[in-house]
């Protein structure tokens, strides 16, 4: 099976606050909803454990996965991750 995707032209990296507009554009195309900068900042940058990773073609964000860190309610201070946002352009 031959793939049309050229992985050499894709950039995989952790998103920054400055990527908000690209994130918002992909979110709206994917879910047909708006997401505020305040929510984006709170969800993925409010603590040092939560994060988003994106896939860029050129400077366009074409895929994203966001993980939200949460502490378990126990004495061992264990942490779990909830996949909050996953999106990929067609």
Q: What is the pTM of this model?
A: 0.81
Looking at 3-90, list the stretches that DSSP marks H as alpha helix, in order from N- to C-terminal side: 20-31, 37-45
Query: Does the pLDDT at position 84 exceed 90?
Result: no
- The more confidently predicted of residues 23 and 7 is 23
Can you give the pLDDT at residue 31? 93
């Amino acid at each position: 099976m031959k793939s049309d995707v050229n992985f050499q032209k894709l950039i995989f990296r952790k998103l920054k606050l400055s990527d908000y507009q690209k994130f918002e554009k992909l979110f709206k195309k994917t879910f047909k909803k708006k997401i505020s900068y305040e929510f984006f900042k709170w969800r993925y940058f409010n603590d040092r454990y939560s994060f988003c990773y994106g896939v860029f073609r050129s400077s366009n964000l074409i895929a994203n996965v966001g993980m939200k860190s949460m502490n378990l309610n126990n004495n061992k201070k264990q942490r779990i991750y909830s996949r909050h946002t996953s999106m990929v352009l067609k």
